[in-house]
């Protein structure tokens, strides 16, 4: 794969048939050396073949191979002439991250970490097929959840109005069509609202161990040694089934629209087509389920803190800083080559990173830029960043979403054989609660890139600015 170095943190795959635009990868010299023979680069080039794509096929520094799009991939397509591709959203529709702050300092909870971890593990169902946080949702209630998103949580006592204001899209993506979800999708999601799931999903209790920008940290209500909570999960079985359903529908429809792409996993149809509109309605519904899911888990986490620490809500001061999604396609206005364009931005393992002043941001955060939440592995650290104006000019308001895997789950389990990973993590100051040993092995720290290197590339590129670093001390896994 030919690569041209544009600067120390940006590389280009030149346009060549059948590519319609160049590919661009944010990475440093060391990262690109490891990527040169990686199939994820071929996926960047393949995405550049999507009809209606604008500007570039983009990849963030946490890039790794995914289904169709690389994970860490971004593509903006013209809203009128472009296509929609389920592979550009992914199986876990609106997998995302939310960060809550507390009034607590680490010293106040250090002696009760085990009790806190136990309470969180008991309160929030985790693991493959986990269910039961809110049992017995009827079909009518499920249809309300997928239509209303976090508004459903607000109406049912699981959220505050401020929570919704500090959630991307207000926790509700417009255009959701509950009729476009299959019966099987509803069946899979019926008992999973308020559950963590498995894989790379987690709840992480951290302390702030480093402040990079005191002014921005203060604006976000962050301070040294403060206890915070990160929740990373998505649309669970409902979203997975929805992706599976529409890959079949859209894959079968491509020939009718004479769309030919170099990879069948990139299955795509015109946005305006009946199949495209049906997928967008179903995707928005699954996205709304995911926002409501994370909101309910945040409510359950607050309850666990109150019970484990025997404190009042006022003493705890549990407040959402922001919730971001990183597997979604959304219609946005962007300026490219001095021209305002309405585009559908596919973000597959990438986070929206709007700059200061953007009207989509809550009024309290608008002067500072959108919070960008970047989880790392469960042994090291996670980061809070904010989007900058450069992101609006160069990445369609997008940034990285995490550390990025360097080891398959199969290889990670093989590497972990014979090791006591919970004890190793305990030695690093991290208490783990998990349903299975395999779940911990698959997500061992060595399976991931060092997220510090990933966020430094984004900051060097001027896309985001580092605000604070979070050091985990309790992690809940499936």
| Mean pLDDT calculated for residue range 308-322 | 98
Pairing between β-strand 431-434 and β-strand 464-477 as defined by DSSP bridges: parallel
Q: Residue 334 is encoded by which pair of tokens?
A: 């962007």
Active site residues: 401
pLDDT in tens, 117-158: 999 999 999 888 888 888 778 999 999 999 999 999 999 999
Residue 108's Cβ-count burial label (10 Å; 0-12, 13-18, 19+) is middle
pLDDT in tens, 358-411: 999 999 999 999 999 999 999 999 999 999 999 999 999 999 999 988 888 999
- Residues 374 and 402 sit within 8 Å (Cβ to Cβ): yes
Query: The tokens 């590919």 sit on which residue?
Result: 23
Alpha carbons within 13 angstroms on the beta-carbon side of residue 138 total 2
pLDDT in tens, 14-40: 999 999 999 999 999 999 999 988 999
Output b/e per residue, 430-439; b: 16+ Cβ within 10 A.
bbbbbbeebb
pLDDT in tens, 336-366: 888 999 999 999 999 999 999 999 999 999 9
**C-alpha span between 348 and 139 (Å, rounded):** 29
**C-alpha span between 350 and 84 (Å, rounded):** 17
pTM over 0.95? The answer is: yes
Pairing between β-strand 23-26 and β-strand 53-64 as defined by DSSP bridges: parallel
- Residues 352 and 361 sit within 8 Å (Cβ to Cβ): no
Q: What is the CATH number of the domain that holds 134?
A: 3.90.1860.10
Q: Residue 146 is encoded by which pair of tokens?
A: 């997928």
Q: Residue 84 is encoded by which pair of tokens?
A: 């929609």
Q: What is the largest CA-CA distance in the chain?
A: 64
**C-alpha span between 75 and 267 (Å, rounded):** 14
Return the DSSP state at 305.
Answer: H
* Sign of the torsion formed by the C-alpha atoms of 113, 115, 116 and 118: positive
- For residue 171, the enclosing domain spans 4-477
Does the pLDDT of residue 309 top 90, yes or no? yes
Question: How many domains are contained in the chain?
Answer: 1
Looking at every residue in the chain, the average pLDDT score rounds to 96
Bridge partner list, 472: 206
What pLDDT sits at residue 63?
96
């Amino acid at each position: 794969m030919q690569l041209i170095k544009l600067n120390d943190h940006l590389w280009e795959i030149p346009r060549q048939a059948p590519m319609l635009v160049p590919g661009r990868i944010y990475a440093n010299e060391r990262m690109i050396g490891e990527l040169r023979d990686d199939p994820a680069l071929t996926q960047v080039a393949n995405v550049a073949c999507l009809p209606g794509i604008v500007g570039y096929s983009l990849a963030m520094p946490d890039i790794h191979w995914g289904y169709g799009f690389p994970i860490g991939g971004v593509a903006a397509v013209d809203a009128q002439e472009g296509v929609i591709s389920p592979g550009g959203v992914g199986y876990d529709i609106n997998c995302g991250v939310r960060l809550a702050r507390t009034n607590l300092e680490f010293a106040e909870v250090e002696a009760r970490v085990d009790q806190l971890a136990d309470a969180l593990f008991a309160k929030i169902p985790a693991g493959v097929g986990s269910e039961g946080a809110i049992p017995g949702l009827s079909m009518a209630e499920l249809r309300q959840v997928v239509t209303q998103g976090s508004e459903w949580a607000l109406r049912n006592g699981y959220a505050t109005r401020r929570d919704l204001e500090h959630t991307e899209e207000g926790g509700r993506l417009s255009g959701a069509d509950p009729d476009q979800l299959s019966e099987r999708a509803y069946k899979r999601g019926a008992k999973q609202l308020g559950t963590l799931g498995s894989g790379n999903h987690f709840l992480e209790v951290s302390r702030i161990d480093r402040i990079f920008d005191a002014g921005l940290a203060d604006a976000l209500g962050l301070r040294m040694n403060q206890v915070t909570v990160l929740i990373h999960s998505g649309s669970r079985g409902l979203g997975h089934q929805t992706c599976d359903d529409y890959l079949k529908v859209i894959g079968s429809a491509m020939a009718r629209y004479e769309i030919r792409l170099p990879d069948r996993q990139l299955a795509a149809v015109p946005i305006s087509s009946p199949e495209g509109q049906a997928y967008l309605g179903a995707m928005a519904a699954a996205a709304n389920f995911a926002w409501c899911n994370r909101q309910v888990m945040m409510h359950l986490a607050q309850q666990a803190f109150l019970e484990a620490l025997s404190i009042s809500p006022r003493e705890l001061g549990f407040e959402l800083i922001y919730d971001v999604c990183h597997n979604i396609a959304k219609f946005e206005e962007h300026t490219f080559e001095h021209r305002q364009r309405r585009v559908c931005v596919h973000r597959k393992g990438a986070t929206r990173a709007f700059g200061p002043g953007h009207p989509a941001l809550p009024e309290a955060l608008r002067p500072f830029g959108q919070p960008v939440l970047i989880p790392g592995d469960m042994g090291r650290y996670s980061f809070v960043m904010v989007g900058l104006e450069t992101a609006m000019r160069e990445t369609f308001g997008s940034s990285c979403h995490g550390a990025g895997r360097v080891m398959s789950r199969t290889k990670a389990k093989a590497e972990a054989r014979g090791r006591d990973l919970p004890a190793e993590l305990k030695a690093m100051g991290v208490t783990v609660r998990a349903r299975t040993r395999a779940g911990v092995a698959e997500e061992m720290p060595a399976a991931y890139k060092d997220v510090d290197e990933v966020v430094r590339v984004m900051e060097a590129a001027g896309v985001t600015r580092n605000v604070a670093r979070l050091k985990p001390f309790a992690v809940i896994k499936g």
